[in-house]
Amino acid sequence: MCGIAGIISSDIDLRGEKPLVEKISDTLKMRGPDAKGEYITADTALIHRRLSVIDVERGAQPMSFGKYVIVYNGELYNTDEVRDELKSFGYTFETHCDTEVVLKAYDKWKEDSVKKLNGIFAYAVYDKKEKSLFAVRDRIGVKPLFYSQKKSLFAFASRIKSLLCIPQIRSVVGEDGLNEIFMLGPSKTMGNAIFKDIKELEPAHYLTYKNGRLDIKQYWCLTAQENNETVKEATEHTYALVKDSIERQLVSDVPLSAFLSGGLDSSIISKIAADKYAEKGKVFDTYSVDYTDNDKYFKKSLFQPNKDSDYIGMMSDYIGSNHHNVILDNVAVADALEQATDARGVPGFADIDSSLLLFCKEVKKDFTVCLSGECADEIFGGYPWYHRKEILFEDCFPWSRSTDVRRSILSPGFLPKGEEYARNAYEQTLKQTSYLDGESNLDRRMREMFILNLNWFMQTLLVRKDVMSMESSLEVRVPFCDYRLVEYAYNMPWSIKALDGREKGIVRKAFENDLPYEIAWRKKSPYPKTHNPAYFKRVCELAQAVFYDRSTPLYDWLDRTAVEILMKNPDSLTEPWYGQLMRTPQVISYIYQIYVWIKKYKVEFEL
């Protein structure tokens, strides 16, 4: 993986802006610590920072071919197939890296080339002759790309921070941005980057920029199609697709490992990877994360019914992996909230972010690439809200069913249209759902839930995984995000997807012979969070600054009494702020992250 950025301007000679180019490059250093490169002309600057994974010696960027120059961030999983097709048209290759394949695919098929690619990516191709730019994101949105257009200037980057280096782009936030933070966060509307001057290129979209004109088009979407497979056929199909996706993502010229929680998804990935390594006489490495004394304070809940630690050893022994259990210090997890916020560029996912950041830093000590199980729950119905009818048919976001808890911590009158904003976001998402005629109410709702989860909940997790891993200079691949698997799951009847009435029932059935029974049929449990009161104590200490520092408007936006009640009682929230993991300690963490963000990014507000 890498970090990319670029500027196109008709009234600034970019050859004289070397300090600016260096400054932007420095913001991308953690995404690409191994090498850097620039392509600079009077009106164009392309910037690349490289984390070397494939063809370490010859894959330098920016890479040129004919009139095109590319800066590329990502991994292509059908490189060989696309390369072979290009060879049939007479193309030759000097490297075995995917960057060269993507560049020459664009030379051959232009915008349509992206439809041939299976992978996780964000890249930009500059046409030196036409002085035009083409930029694109992968279908699911695993890799980020932000952009800004200010009069005669157009810029793009992998990070928000990189764009804010440019003087013309200001760190201004309006009412819509605050509604995103307080009424929807840590989720955000796709395309919205919180800052007024910055937008996010949405997944499955590409943009073209020429002569001051910006055009954006969608190149892929989910469409409803008939699926008449039997249970046996669906089981075999699911197994084949998942296995193929995982095996494709094991290609690497540097050390590779996997996250292993003892849950279904990570166990499937680790099992298939371990088998492939065993074929070569190698032992596969796996990693898990926990917190100091977490077992002592663990409490069962609907969303977290059992501890990962009960299952990790079982699975590691079963596949014979070289397992590493990373134990995080609770105070360190709280202190890392600041770096996690700085890395995201916006308020984030509380300690769900900061713990992953520290975890990835430990993994990076020995590995450069890691596999993880994101997306399986969203596309195969793994969350409780798919299965509890009283939640399923509620006309709202299932992970944030009410804005009441959000409103309760705000000063009276602040963000008066917040509820309306959140409601509109929900309704606009439903409009993106594709149905089949004659489908039952249940099947229609399951399609809506699929889109809601794919476009919101999963995007939050993917941003978290990309930002925290790349801040650690670790590449994390997500096999369940293979678009072929997403398309297939979207059209799988719910009765098969939830086989035997279980979350991810079809996946369990497909892999029950590859895993211990206790793992294959274990009840869903989310990413482990800390239950240790030492974390909550430290977070409350950090959050005191919110009420003693009047230099930020946050002091006036919050209801101090309501927040202090939360700080005195970590069990006071009756339902999570967001999803399965954000309860009182995480809400206080989130408030602190907003404070840190305002200070670090020198945010201005125009309300």
Q: 343-353: per-residue pLDDT in tens? A: 999 999 999 99
User: What mean pLDDT is predicted for residues 16-39?
Assistant: 96
Reported as a single tens digit per residue, the pLDDT across 154-184 is 999 999 999 999 999 999 999 999 999 999 9
Give the E-state strand segments of 342-490 in sequence order.
Answer: 369-371, 475-477
Of 79, 479, 470, nearest to 270 by C-alpha is 479
Percent of the chain with pLDDT over 90: 89
| pLDDT single digits (tens) 418-430 | 999 999 999 999 9
Q: Under 8 Å CB-to-CB from 238, ≥6 apart: which residues?
A: 488, 506, 507, 510
Q: What is the pLDDT of residue 358?
A: 98
What pLDDT sits at residue 253? 81
Q: Which candidate, 580, 519, 528, 579, places its Cα nearest to that of 263?
A: 519
Give yes or no for residue 136 having a pLDDT over 80: yes
Q: Give, to the nearest 10 degrees, the angle between helix 418-430 and helix 441-452.
A: 120
Per-residue tokens: 418: 């917040």
pLDDT of residue 573: 81
The pLDDT score that the predictor gives to residue 53 is: 82
Residues 6+ positions from 29 with CB-CB distance below 8 Å: 3, 36, 49
Torsion sign across C-alpha atoms 153, 158, 163, 165: negative
Q: What is the mean pLDDT of residues 489-507?
A: 96
Start-to-end CA distance of the chain, whole Å, equals 38
3-class DSSP assignment, residue 63: strand
Q: Which of 382, 375, 356 is nearest to 522 (CA)?
A: 382
d(CA 575, CA 288): 27
Neighbours of 606 (CB within 10 A): 10
Q: What per-residue confidence (pLDDT) applies to 306?
A: 54
Q: What is the pLDDT of residues 390-416, one digit of tens each?
A: 899 999 999 999 899 999 999 999 999
In this predicted structure, what is the pLDDT of residue 78? Answer: 97
- Average pLDDT (459-476) is 97
Kindly list the catalytic residues: 2
pLDDT tens digits, residue range 283-312? Answer: 999 999 999 988 776 665 555 555 677 799
pLDDT at 303: 52
H helix and E strand count, the chain: 26, 19
What tens digit of pLDDT does each residue of 572-599 get? 887 789 987 789 999 999 999 999 999 9
Cis peptide before 493 (omega within 30 of 0): no
Please tell me the predicted confidence (pLDDT) of residue 299: 62
Angle (CA) 478 102 200, round 5°: 60
* Average of per-residue pLDDT values in the chain: 94
| Separation of alpha carbons 154 and 210, rounded Å | 10
Residue 80's pLDDT band (cuts 50, 70, 90)? very high
| Span 31-55, average pLDDT | 92
- In this predicted model, which residue has the larger pLDDT, 527 or 62? 62
Q: Is a pLDDT exceeding 80 seen at residue 527?
A: no
Residue 279 near residue 556, CB atoms below 8 Å: no
Q: What is the secondary structure of 163-188 as a DSSP string?
A: HTTSTTS--EEEHHHHHIIIIITTS-
Element housing 291 (H / E): strand 285-291
4 vs 53, which has greater pLDDT?
A: 4
pLDDT surpasses 80 at 141: yes
Instruction: Provide mean pLDDT across the span 196-208.
Output: 98
Per-residue pLDDT of 251-263, as tens digits, reads 888 889 999 999 9
Residues 256, 321 contacting (CB under 8 angstroms): no
Q: Per-residue pLDDT averaged across 479-507, rounded?
A: 97
pLDDT at position 307, please?
61
**Which whole-number Å values give the CA distances from 377 to 265, 457, 498, 517, 598, in the listed order?**
9, 10, 12, 19, 33
Q: Quick one: pLDDT at residue 54?
A: 74
pLDDT of 212? 95
What value, to the nearest 5°, has the Cα angle with vertex 30 and ends 25 and 32? 70
